[in-house]
Amino acid sequence: MKKDSKEEALFRAVEELLAGGPELPEPAERARLREAAGVTQAALARALDTSPQTVKNWEAGRSEPRPPRRGPYLALLEGWAKKYPAPSPRGEKPTAATPAPEATPAPAAPSASPRPSTARPTAAPKRPAARKTAARSVAAAAGEGPFANGPLAVLTIENDELVGYGAGGLVLDVPAATLPALVEWTLTEGRLGAPKLDGSGRDADPLLVLTPSALERFGLPVELSEDEQDSGRLAAGHPVIKGLEKAQWQLTQRGFGPWARIYRPAQGSRRLCVQLCIPSWKALDARSWKNAADLAPGDLARVMSLYASRVMTPRGSTAVTGLELMTALRPPTRASAPDAEGRRHSVHNPGSLGTEPMDPPPCEAINGHPVLAHLPRFHQRGPEERIFEEAYDWARPLTAEDRKHTHLVGIDVNMAFAAAANGAVVGLASPPVHTVNPAFDPKIPGSWLVDLSHVDLDRVMVGKKWVDLCGDLLPSPFTQYGERPEGPAWYATTTVAYAVELGYQVQPLEAWLRPDSGRYLDAWYQRLRDAYMATMADLGVPDGLSPQEFLAAMDGYKQRDPDAAIVLDAIKGTVKFGIGKLQQKAAGGGWMPGQPWSALSRPTWRPDIRAAVISRARIGMHRKMVALAAATGRYPVSVLSDCAIYAANGPSPLDVLPYTSEGKTIPGSFRIGVSPGMVKHEGTQTPQWAESLREHTNNPLLNLARNIKTGTTAGLDTGE
């Protein structure tokens, strides 16, 4: 049986060599001939014992026919060409003996008597056949170089053959029967991957996305068992893993999971690594990728390739990719200048986080961290022991004045945490320095123990003027839930600096400071901002619109291109979950408090950077709310992270935010627009809806921002 299979494979290889005879007409000519004959794609597919989609691919140039169908298909096209010759450019019909030419090559020298082209067809393309369509092209698929076929391929089975869908409508024939052979093909012939994002970084490894049919072809389960789902990986003794080991391929410590990495030790400067993404194993979290796992292979390839070209090739979840993007843009090492012998060495890259992990000071450590192992097991740390820089979750009762308004309008800050990361000065590779009774310096990032309970929001400085406000209608800028601090607490530099900005003196009692600092996240923000803006433009919301035009363009914008809408959500997830992963907690694996967990071994485990970004986002919200209140007397009803709700006599954000005839609004307050840091419409309800919802849930301080968009009670605790 094995001998027959080998012989059959050899015959197929010989047939492919023989296929190097007459070349097929161009894809557009194939379609013209079929249509001239009055034959549908489905009828042609039945005649050639294939699928209509395969015929469509042939006529779109996404793939080429192979034996045993190539010969009959070519004969059919030649017969049709004789019956339905292509019209001459001058309207003259060519003779039946003249085949429809693919192209007329330019003559080597001018000729006195031009003759019809008799150029011989060139040999058929070698496998893998790879053609790009003109439509929906992606810049990553350049057609030349080591990454000519783009960053990734979505593998599936069509007509019992393995094909890979790539960027720009590309379809690859993938001649691999086993997983080790697939990895070898990817690294030697696939021409998949992406160039490095920084001169000191490294190229992105090729990514293969395995659909259920491809999983079955390689002997992998379509879904993990319950035990495997709990461990997040395939059982170590699985035959496929043994096959990889036999072929001398290795897996990373996280094993063969939804985002497996298969590699061999690098040979010199060349990496030998392929990453797998398995959607049916829940690789594409619906919180970031929505329904991407259910897309057809070609559509999934478009979505993931677009994300890869604008952000980076996914390295795991959007949280993992968010961290990897930081490192890719700020590599920890670079090549040194040549030494006396002309050799270069790997040295620390200034402006990066370096290569070594760093223990946080106790005030920045989350519960269970080894630096807190000396504390009693059930000790609860308060704000005087631990920094609590978190996003807002604040609400207040509606006043009589609020109830007089006809609407409650929610406004939401675009890419709030990305905007907060822009310009953030954070500690770099050096450990923090402990000081006692320091003078406050707003230029040094770190954590400060200071009493801010004396800051009175009834009277604050806005710009250079003191302003009287109704402090009870504003959340405190210093706490997550908006309550006024009661004594000394740990804060990030931005929070303490805002107390000074509001006109109040501060005297820290203690601090952990990071003089070795820089704007580490600027390049990260710029990359994600550009990705976000380009994708919003794809959805019909370009930059430069007036507030009125922007709000109109945002109406139903995600329905204009559902694939681009998925990419947009993935970009947002990269920001949100990437910042969160800077403080990744321990999970599973028999971990016990006081013991280290795997995330602590990476330089990007930096809770202080997360705290700095969230502090900037929360303070930025408060600064805008104060500016609006000082100018108009409007106060928020609820604030949830980057969404604020205001009472208004109209359903639009334009009924909340005043604009002049020149299109200007209150300096320092909210502005309507598409850019990160500007605001969009989140939703509109009525004061009656708010009171009814709070009564229904038996919660007089229910945060209305959670449901302003839908107006429903879904997911809320009713108290019953």
Convert the pLDDT of each residue in 327-375 to its tens digit.
999 999 998 888 888 888 889 999 999 999 999 999 999 999 999 999 9
Amino acid letter for position 153: A
Q: Report domain extents, the chain.
A: 18-98
pLDDT average, residue stretch 584-608: 92
pLDDT average, residue stretch 518-539: 97
Q: What percent of the chain has pLDDT over 90?
A: 72
Q: Could you tell me where the DSSP H helices lie in 19-101? A: 27-36, 41-47, 52-60, 70-83
pLDDT of residue 530: 97
pLDDT of residue 660: 85
Q: How confident is the model at residue 148 (pLDDT cuts 50, 70, 90)?
A: very high
pLDDT of residue 121: 32
Residues 536 and 564: their CA atoms lie apart, in Å, by 8
pLDDT average, residue stretch 2-24: 58
pLDDT of residue 130: 41
Amino acid letter for position 650: G
The total of other beta-carbon atoms located within 10 Å of residue 362's CB is 18
Return the higher-pLDDT residue of 10 and 133: 10
Residues 37 and 44: their CA atoms lie apart, in Å, by 11
- Using only the alpha carbons of the chain, give its radius of gyration: 31
pLDDT at position 18 over 60: no
pLDDT of residue 145: 83
pLDDT average, residue stretch 169-184: 94
* Nearest residue to 176 (alpha-carbon basis) of 163, 166, 165: 163
pLDDT average, residue stretch 608-626: 98
Q: Residues 646, 682: contact at Cβ < 8 Å? A: no
pLDDT of residue 391: 97
pLDDT of residue 341: 84
pLDDT at position 142 over 60: no
Return the higher-pLDDT residue of 8 and 356: 356
Return the higher-pLDDT residue of 614 and 107: 614
User: Could you report the per-residue pLDDT of 676-698, keeping only the tens digit for each?
Assistant: 999 999 999 999 999 999 999 99
Q: How confident is the model at residue 66 (pLDDT cuts 50, 70, 90)?
A: confident
Residues 6+ apart with CB under 8 A from 380: none
pLDDT of residue 526: 98
Residues in the chain: 720
pLDDT of residue 615: 98
Sign of the C-alpha dihedral, residues 237, 243, 244, 248?
Answer: positive
Largest CA distance in the chain: 99
Residues 698 and 717: their CA atoms lie apart, in Å, by 9
Residues 229 and 582: their CA atoms lie apart, in Å, by 25
Which two structure tokens, joined as six digits, stand for 82? 């004789």
Q: Residues 674, 445: contact at Cβ < 8 Å? A: no
pLDDT of residue 10: 59
Name the strand (E) or helix (H) holding 287: helix 286-289
pLDDT at position 122 over 50: no
Q: How confident is the model at residue 535 (pLDDT cuts 50, 70, 90)?
A: very high
The total of other beta-carbon atoms located within 10 Å of residue 361's CB is 21
pLDDT of residue 445: 98
Q: pTM for the full model? A: 0.81
pLDDT of residue 8: 62
Q: Is 255 left (phi over 0), alpha (psi -120 to 50) or beta?
A: left
Q: Which residues of 441-450 are buried (b: 16+ CB within 10 A; e: fewer)?
A: beebbbbbbb
Q: How confident is the model at residue 587 (pLDDT cuts 50, 70, 90)?
A: confident
> What is 414-468 written as a DSSP string?
TTHHHHHHTT--EE-SSPPEEEESPPP-TTS-EEEEEE-TT--TTEEEETTEEEE
Residues 654 and 651: their CA atoms lie apart, in Å, by 8
pLDDT average, residue stretch 559-587: 96
Q: What is the CATH number of domain 18-98?
A: 1.10.260
pLDDT at position 716 over 70: no
Residues 13 and 397: their CA atoms lie apart, in Å, by 77
User: Could you report the per-residue pLDDT of 486-506, keeping only the tens digit for each?
Assistant: 999 999 999 999 999 999 999
* C-alpha of 164 from chain center: 22
Residues 194 and 142: their CA atoms lie apart, in Å, by 11
DSSP lists the bridge partners of residue 273 as 263
DSSP state of 198: S
pLDDT at position 195 over 50: yes
pLDDT at position 717 over 60: no
The average confidence (pLDDT) of the chain is: 88
pLDDT at position 41 over 50: yes
pLDDT of residue 230: 86
Q: How confident is the model at residue 189 (pLDDT cuts 50, 70, 90)?
A: very high
